[in-house]
Amino acid sequence: MTRKYNWKTGCDVEATLSVMGGRWKPVLLCHLLGGRKRFGELRRLTPNATERMITLQLRELEADGVVARHVYPEVPPRVEYELTDFGRSLKEILEQMQQWGSVFKARKQAEEVASEQ
């Protein structure tokens, strides 16, 4: 599958977001940081995402060379996904996003508790 890119701003952040932007791609990438996962496992780890959305996001990540898809000739077919070497280069960015998100959640939860009092 070939993806088309339209980088209108010329900003490198736009190029990064074209690969890992969206609601589910960073979540899937974080799960894959832990190693190879089967599709069903990724589906269980992201219960709010539809099966179709997970499939589409994984296909785009595969087309961008970030995720590798392994199909085993079994019945029923077994499909596993893992980060490529290029995909693992996103580790630092993803870990920073996790840390920032943790601080943000704690801040918002503290604000909610304060507003209830």
All domains of the chain, ordered by start, with CATH? 12-116 (1.10.10.10)
Whole-angstrom Cα distance, residue 115 to residue 94? 31
Confidence at residue 45, expressed as pLDDT on a 0 to 100 scale:
97
**Secondary structure class of 64 (helix, strand, coil):** coil
| Contact (CB, 8 A) for 79 and 72 | yes
Confidence at residue 1, expressed as pLDDT on a 0 to 100 scale:
57
Confidence at residue 7, expressed as pLDDT on a 0 to 100 scale:
67
Handedness of CA 17, 19, 25, 31 (dihedral sign): negative
Q: Tens digit of pLDDT per residue, the chain (117 long)?
A: 566 666 677 788 888 888 888 899 999 999 999 999 999 999 999 999 999 999 999 999 999 999 999 999 988 889 999 999 999 999 999 999 999 999 999 999 999 989 887
